[in-house]
Each structure stands twice: as C-alpha cells, then as structure tokens.
Structure 1
Amino acid sequence: MLAGIAAGLGAGAFWGTTFVAPLIAPGFSSIDLTVGRYLACGLLSVLLLAWTALRGTLHKPTWSQAGAALWLSVLGYTGYYVLLVLAIQAAGAALPVLIIGTIPLAVMLLGKPQGLRWRTLLPGLLLTAAGLVLMMRATAHGMDGSATAQGSLAWGVFLAALAMASWTAFVLLNARWLARHPEVNSTVWANWLGVAAGVGALLIWAVAGTPLAELVARPGFGTFVLVCAVTGIGAAWIASVLWNMASRRLSASLAGQLIVSETVFGLIYAFAWDAAWPAPVQWAACVLFVLGILASIQAHR
C-alpha cells in the first residue's frame, strides 16, 4: 500500500509541472504545449519500444490491447487536454479549473470498494471538498468578468464538464484494464499509451497546431522545446508509469484522493516560479488537501 501511495504522490508531483509550463514558455499556445508534450512522450515511448525489440523482449499488443490504448489515451491524454483548452478559450481559465478540480471527488465517489463503509470514507471526502471550496474562492476572487470574450460561458462550462468526465472515466477504466491484464506491466502499458498519445498529438497539430516554421521563428523556441521535453517525459511518461503502479496497488477511491496532490504540487511550483507566497486561503486549502489524503489513507487500511 505504501508503495502505491508513494507512486500516486510521485505522479501528482510530475503532473504539477504542467501548471508552470505556460509560465515558462508564455509565447506559445496551450495547444502547441499540449502537442509538444505528447509528441515528446510518444517519441520516448517509440524509442523504448525499439530498444526492447532490439533486446528481443518486445511485448507486442494484441489488436484489442492496441485499441484499448488508443481509446484510453483519448480519454486521459489528448482528448482531455483538448476539451480543457477549448473550455478555457470559451469561458476563461477560472471556471474550467474549478470544474476540473472536482475530479478527485468524482473518482473517490465512483471508485469506492464494496467493502468500504461510507462513514469511514466521509472524513477524507469532507476535507477534500472543503479544500476545493477554499481553492474555488481564491480562484473566483481573481475573475474580472471578461472571461467570455472568446466565446460562450455556457459552452465553456459544458466543455469543462466533458473534460472532467473524460479524465474521471480514464482513471476508472484504466484501473479496471490494468486489473484485468496483469501480464502487461506498468512500463509497457505506459509505452503503448504514449505511442497512442503521440499519434493523437500529430492529428491535433495537423488540425489546430501552429506551423513548424512559425514555431521555430518565435523567440524562446529553445525554451519551448525544453518545456515540452520535460513535461512529455516527466508529466506524461514517468507520471503514467507511476500512476499505473498506484492504480494496481490501490483502490480507485484512494488513488482518486491522491489526485489532489497535483494541485498542491502545481501551486508550489507556480509560486516558486513567481517568487511569491500563496494567499492564506490557498495555504489553508493545501493543508485541507493533505489532511484529506491522510484521512483517506487511514480509512483504506
């Protein structure tokens, strides 16, 4: 159990780096950062699969397994991020981020083991919900009423809800798939998902991405490539391996609780980058998140 918790927290630590990626490479769009991230992940996955093939240890997926990797990569990787980006473009950043913040609660509620009583899970749920409420207050405080300049607020909220449902479904279905296929280890599965995500990124780039010549000509292109490489290897591939390990060792409800660590780490990185201290309400929210994780761990023992 401890190994699964450590893996889940490690995944959250890597996912949190995506919070600061736009701050480090501000001259590039979210679509370009998403495409670059998953292209880097896909390239690494292809190289690792080629290495295993040269060593004669390549585990080839069946058609069914390849189809599952493609479908789940859309749910949890490229499809999810495209929905989120479109939601932010339509409604501004604040509301979509708040909606996405409910994912840990949704996963905890839908992934509760049959033998676990609700009353034992309730403290962790309440602490996490209280932390989300505080974080929502802090986020809503910065809204300026101009969020709908690029589109319809209602449409953006709808897209954000779809993104939330997409990633929630990915967490639950990915855990179920791993449980049914113990012969596929976490690293192999991460490679298959990475290749599928790389293919999806190419399709997104062809439809909505910035032409390569224009990207190269922009100031800070080298930083952009570095950010994509770091988030593609860390926040996509390594985080995927760690999350697969956590999903195999923990119930979906406990793994869902650990998702809030992404927010905690993301805030730490963002404030460190800006050389600023969080507001008291954000400190309080992070404390509640940590207490919620500890309460959920206790409930699942």
Structure 2
Amino acid sequence: MSTTTAAPSGAYRTYLGLAFGVGAGALWGLVFLAPELVRSFSPLELAAGRYLAYGVVSALLILPRWRTLHAVLTRRDWLSLFWLSLAGNTLYYILVASAVQLGSVAMASLVVGFLPVTVTLIGSRDRGAVPLRALFPSVLLCAAGALSIGWQAIGATTAGTELLGLICAFGALASWTAYAVGNSRCLARLPHLSAHDWSLLTGVVTGAQALLLVPLVALIQPQHAPAEWLQFAGVSIGVAILASICGNALWNWMSRLLPLTLVGQMIVFETVFALLYGFLWEQRWPQPLELLACAFVLAGVISCLRAHRGHGVPATHPDAADERATG
C-alpha cells in the first residue's frame, strides 16, 4: 500500500537531490555509448529494441498496482504521458542515435550539453525561481563548457553526414528540453503519484509507442547475424533497465527535491559521463580542451547552487508536494 514518508528538508533535500541527479546522469550517459556498441543497427531499430524492453519491464513492475493507478489517472494525465514519452524517449533517442552514428559521441553530447542552458532559461520564469540575472554566471559557465567540449567537433562538420548528425543533435536538444520542463511540472501537479510509478507509467506508454516502430523497422528489412542480434538484445535490455528504469526513477526523485532551474543544471552530468564513456570506449585520455570543458560544467553547477542559497529559494519545485513511497 502507499504511505507518505517524512520529506527531507533544507540542505539535506538539496544534497539528496544532487546525488540523485548525478546518478541519473551516470546512467543516462550510457545512452550515447549504445549506438556505438551496436553500430550495424539503425536508430529506429535501437529505439524499438530499447523501448520494447523498457515497456515490458515497466509493465511487469507496475502490474500489482495497475488498478489503483488506473483509477486515479485522468485523460489529461494519459495525454501528458504520451507526449512526454514521445519527447523524452522515443523521438529523443532516435535523434541521439542518429547524431552519434552520423557524427560522433562527442558531437552529440556537446549539443545535448546545452540542456542546462535551455532548461534553466525556461525554469527562471517559474514562480519563486531564482532571478535570471543571478543565474547568468552559471549559464555562461555551462555554455562555455559545452562549446569547449565540441569545438573541434563543430569545426569538423563539413561532410554532409556530419552536418545531418549535427541537425539531429539539435533536434534531440529541443525534444529533451520540452521533456525536462514538462515532466517536472507534471510531477509538481501530481503529488498523489510517486516518482517511481510515474517513471513506470512513462515506460508502459513508451513501450506502446515502440510497438508502432516495429512495422517501420520491418520495412528496412534488416540483415544481421545471430551473434549481432544477441549483442543487440543485451544492449537494448541493459540500456532499458539501467538508463530508462533506474535513471528515470532517480531523475524523477530529484525533480521532486530541486527547483526547475537547478534541475536544468543537473543535466550536465549526462554530458560528463557520456564523454567519460566515450573516452574509455576509444581508449584515450581526454584532450586539454575537454578537461577544461568538464571544469566549466562543474563550476556552472556549483555557481547555480550558490545562487539558490544566496536568494533563499526553497529546495523544491515551488508547486511540488511531499514524495510518497510505495511499499
């Protein structure tokens, strides 16, 4: 049954939210590596495989509470789940996988690295948010970090395929910005749903969307060896559980603890971990410019945290209610 737990307060809420955000970024960074691990598979195949697995696992986990949850969900909630699943999962991953395969992990993570800037700018309009002028140093630091990460990548986008990859990356940026803002605001108006249940409901809807991709994948008529399909299944299931189930749950818990302006800053850790995984995959050390970029990114998060302290902004989203635990 569902019981209301005592909500953490003050600095503890902030640091707990930060820890959840870093954990989500570490798991979501795997999303950028997956297209490289199974490069012979198209973005449509990758999205269909990952989200079919995500949908099945989510459905199994939510099945014991399905009747209770279904009774409290409205038509507006289901519509929100549909467009959030599309923007934050299905469409986003197709675009990211395309950006990685047409360009590179560094280029894709660079553009998505602008998410803290876009989400923070939108979040600064929320009631009770830190004024934009106080966030300006943080926004500048994050923008400098993103530019440093991809300076060489942007300079190399002369080939047609790389340019198309860059366009896909910017499409992913727009798609996930819409998701980050919309998801945070949905959680704020749905205090009766736990963050974990909302993540699983998103998974069920995303799995249904993945079923619609299967006919499109069939039109491609993919030709892969049995060993390739086995590797594809392993990557799809692994990314579904680690990034989609665990990562989304951590992100939703964080969204209940931090204001939207700080939520936007936490997305930078996805970029940092994506770069780290990319360096390990390529078996090389980061270049000086890449190290500088990580320093800018971390400095931006610290600057944003200090801005929230200095202006006495509450650690939670202004409309958020207490978190509920399901046991």
Structure 1 residue runs of 5 or longer lacking an equivalent are none
Partner of 2:33: 20
Among candidates 116, 130, 133, match of residue 144 of structure 2 = 130
Q: 1:88 & 1:268 partners in 2: Cα distance?
A: 15
The aligned amino acid for 1:79 is L
Q: 1:25 & 1:87 partners in 2: Cα distance?
A: 14
Whether 2:265 is the aligned partner of 1:251: answer no
Q: 2:108 & 2:280 partners in 1: Cα distance?
A: 24
Question: Structure 1 residue 30: deviation in Å?
Answer: 2.5
Whether 2:79 is the aligned partner of 1:67: answer yes
Question: Structure 1 residue 21: deviation in Å?
Answer: 1.2
After TM superposition, the structure 1 stretch with the greater mean CA deviation from structure 2, 184-193 or 219-228, is 219-228
Q: 1:127 to 1:224 in 2, by over 3 A?
A: same
Q: 2:226 & 2:108 partners in 1: Cα distance?
A: 29
Partner of 2:200: 191
Whether 2:39 is the aligned partner of 1:30: answer no
Structure 2 residue runs of 5 or longer lacking an equivalent are 1-13, 310-327
Q: 1:265 to 1:162 in 2, by over 3 A?
A: closer
Q: 1:275 to 1:52 in 2, by over 3 A?
A: same
Whether 2:240 is the aligned partner of 1:227: answer no
Question: Structure 1 residue 236: deviation in Å?
Answer: 1.1
Question: RMSD of the alignment, in Å?
Answer: 2.6
After TM superposition, the structure 1 stretch with the greater mean CA deviation from structure 2, 79-88 or 160-169, is 79-88
Q: 1:34 & 1:267 partners in 2: Cα distance?
A: 21
- What is the percent sequence identity of the aligned residues? 36
Question: Structure 1 residue 86: deviation in Å?
Answer: 5.5
The 8 Å contact of residues 146 and 293 in structure 2, kept in 1 or not, is answered as yes
Question: Structure 1 residue 84: deviation in Å?
Answer: 4.2
Among candidates 287, 290, 295, match of residue 279 of structure 1 = 287
Question: Structure 1 residue 119: deviation in Å?
Answer: 3.5
Among candidates 96, 103, 106, match of residue 115 of structure 2 = 103
Number of equivalent positions: 291
Question: Structure 1 residue 164: deviation in Å?
Answer: 2.1
Q: 1:227 to 1:95 in 2, by over 3 A?
A: closer
The 8 Å contact of residues 32 and 210 in structure 1, kept in 2 or not, is answered as no
Q: 1:136 to 1:237 in 2, by over 3 A?
A: same
Question: Structure 1 residue 278: deviation in Å?
Answer: 0.9
What is the TM-score when the length of structure 1 is the normalising length?
Answer: 0.86
